[in-house]
Amino acid sequence: MTLTLIFVILIACPLEFTGAKWTYNGPDGEHNWSSNYPFCGGAFQSPIDFQTQLLRYDPNLPPIQVQNYNLSTNEQLTLSNNGHSVQLSLPSQMYISSFPQRYSAAQLHFHWGSSNLLTGSEHTVNGKRFAGEMHIVHFNSDKYPNISMAVDKHDGLAVLGVFIEIGEFNPAFDKFFKYMNGIKYRDQKIQVAAFNIHALLPARLDEYYRYDGSLTTPPCYPSVLWTVFRRPVTISRKQFMALATALYASNAQESTTVPLHGNYRKPQITDNRVVLVSFKDGLYGILSAESPFQRKQVIQKLLVGDLADLADEGLYQLLPKLGSQPGKDKKLKKSKKEGHWSQATRKEQWSKNKVQSNTGYSSSVGKNTPTPWYMGAFDTAKGICFVSLEENVMHQLDKYHAKGLMVEALREVVFPELNLRSYLHCRSDLDLQTIRKLVQGRSRDEAAELEQSLAEAMLKKMRRQINQHRNPNMKTTIGHPQATVPKDFNSALTYHRPQRAEWED
Ligand SMILES: *[C@@H]1O[C@H](CO)[C@@H](O)[C@H](O)[C@H]1NC(C)=O
Ligand SMILES: *[C@@H]1O[C@H](CO)[C@@H](O)[C@H](O)[C@H]1NC(C)=O
Ligand SMILES: *[C@@H]1O[C@H](CO)[C@@H](O)[C@H](O)[C@H]1NC(C)=O
Ligand SMILES: [Zn+2]
């Protein structure tokens, strides 16, 4: 009966962008977005805080290249106030050309602070919030006919994020900032002459943060490949004030006017995500991303191959680092303290989303949405995020009451898609739990051998960290000088203290 009810409600009032009311403050504020928009309480949410320990230098990230951004002044663009932001429509001939698939532009919009709080960017860098942030939204036009079809697909959107700082006057932004008074109220729109959109971007397009995330507003679909440029652009204080004070979130007919400012969402948990960065200068002790190919090799060998040639070093390179990646227990405690999700509640939320999707939720946006399974973190082809892979496999095992078939299930889930999908290929560290499960599936002596390699690799890494701790000036690209060594030392020892009987016949 409950399901029928949900079904009826969803059919009667399909959720869409302008669907249920949401705001940044009050009862419909972000804490409650997930009541009407379940994905807002789901995985892979944005924005996030770019903390140094999340960053992985990836030398394969090319400079961002865009095409047809220099629009003719004969062209008209729609500038609008949608009650949540100021938005400029963009023609789809503009596109990002540095991705394997073409992502065509749809619109750009802003997030900003207020006249008495000048900080309002969504992404932050080690907790630092910039004055504002611009988002240039693109959709995968190779695969989807328009943005509404792409918005809820795992590979649907790519957004370029630009931090905005208060400083020098920016003539490019004034091309449309000067018309702000024409769209003071919600739902107002005007036409403005197009201009060179490229001039809104920072000078350096080769330095950026890259990660998998979501829309930062309801319905929060985890469909966004994020690129946030490292270097901010500037606008003058006067320009910022115009943005922060000119607009209302209420429409012209409403008796009470609600100012439109402070329209940013707070940072979301990163869970098992890492952030790839295209730069490493100025970042001390940053780790490098391992190549997806290397990960694939390891998994393949764990599943089917000869473990003898999986040398210590190969495995060692893929181990999650000690210290900045807390163990599961630690993480759980932390999650609770911060009111974030534990693994269990995340799973629960996922099933909730899935149920809702099955009752017609996802089809309200895209009729051809194959199944909610393909959304965001739970896309099987995205299985190289090992933690979600593991959840996926566990789910299958539960479904078939087939415990102990982890390896079989992994084989089924991982192949043949492993390493085929997407730009990033791999977003999370190879989870130690996954390695262990795979190891357990191998024949006894092989498993023992590998277990020993793992233990040795961990100990080696730990020693290196301790040395680094004692001698912090020692230069190395791996390791975290900030790590609290005694704690890690203990947990690593507990975890890897050899239990001789296990592998010494
Ligand atoms: C959250 O939103 C729901 C649905 O719109 C509403 O019924 C509920 O009262 C809200 N909760 C809070 C704490 O504001
Ligand atoms: C943009 O195009 C206009 C002509 O439409 C041209 O005059 C201008 O130099 C171009 N700007 C850049 C930066 O290429
Ligand atoms: C997007 O494409 C779909 C499928 O071709 C179509 O049904 C829908 O009307 C389009 N939506 C818009 C807003 O153009
Ligand atoms: Zn945005």
Pick from 6, 25, 35, 36 the residue to mutate for probing ligand 1's pocket: most ligand atoms within 8 Å of its CB. 35
Pick from 67, 196, 198 the residue to mutate for probing ligand 2's pocket: most ligand atoms within 8 Å of its CB. 196
Residues 210 and 239 grouped into a single domain: yes
The DSSP output letter for 339 is T
Number of domains composing the chain: 2
- Name the closest ligand to CA 151: 3
- Residue 146 Cβ inside 6 Å of ligand 3? The answer reads yes
19 Cα: distance to centroid of ligand 3 (angstroms): 18
The DSSP output letter for 226 is E
Is 504 within a domain? no
Is 287 within a domain? no
For residues 136 and 159, give the distance between their C-alpha atoms in angstroms, rounded to a whole number: 5
Pick from 18, 140, 149, 151 the residue to mutate for probing ligand 3's pocket: most ligand atoms within 8 Å of its CB. 149
- Domain edge (last residue) among 277, 312, 327: 277
Is 33 within a domain? no
**37-89: pLDDT as tens digits:** 998 998 789 999 999 988 888 887 899 999 999 999 999 999 999 999 999 99
Residues 344 and 223 grouped into a single domain: no
Is 284 within a domain? no
Query: What does the pLDDT read at residue 346?
Result: 32
286 Cα: distance to centroid of ligand 4 (angstroms): 28
Query: What does the pLDDT read at residue 106?
Result: 98
Residues 267 and 298 grouped into a single domain: no
Closest CA to 286 of 3, 478, 487, 68: 478
Helices (H) and strands (E) in the chain, counts: 15, 17
The ligand 3 atom at the shortest distance from the C-alpha of residue 146 is: 1
Residues 311 and 244 grouped into a single domain: no
The ligand 2 atom at the shortest distance from the C-alpha of residue 70 is: 1
Is 19 within a domain? no
480 is catalytic: no
- Domain edge (last residue) among 253, 277, 301: 277
Residues 205 and 345 grouped into a single domain: no
Residues 94 and 48 grouped into a single domain: yes
Residues 335 and 457 grouped into a single domain: yes
Is 228 within a domain? yes
- Residue 43 Cβ inside 6 Å of ligand 3? The answer reads no
Residues 150 and 296 grouped into a single domain: no
- Residue 70 Cβ inside 6 Å of ligand 2? The answer reads yes
For residues 431 and 413, give the distance between their C-alpha atoms in angstroms, rounded to a whole number: 16
Query: What does the pLDDT read at residue 222?
Result: 86
CATH of the domain at 123: 3.10.200.10
**C-alpha distance across the termini of the chain, in Å:** 60
**382-439: pLDDT as tens digits:** 333 455 556 666 676 676 665 556 666 666 655 433 322 333 344 444 555 566 666 7
Q: SS3 letters for 143-157?
A: CCCCHHHHCCCCCCE
Bridge partners, residue 277, by sequence: 57, 209
Residues 79 and 208 grouped into a single domain: yes
The ligand 1 atom at the shortest distance from the C-alpha of residue 29 is: 14
What's the domain range around 367? Answer: 292-495
Q: Which residue of the set 84, 123, 138, 395 is catalytic? A: 84
Higher-confidence residue of 345 and 287: namely 287
**199-229: pLDDT as tens digits:** 999 999 999 999 888 999 999 998 899 999 9
Is 344 within a domain? yes
Is 479 within a domain? yes
What three-state secondary structure class fits 125?
A: strand
How many percent of the chain have pLDDT more than 90?
A: 44
Residues 268 and 319 grouped into a single domain: no
Spatial CB neighbours of 427, under 8 Å, sequence gap ≥ 6 = 211, 212, 272, 273, 274, 384, 385
Residues 330 and 258 grouped into a single domain: no
- Residue 245 Cβ inside 6 Å of ligand 2? The answer reads no
Residues 211 and 147 grouped into a single domain: yes
- Domain edge (last residue) among 247, 277, 307: 277
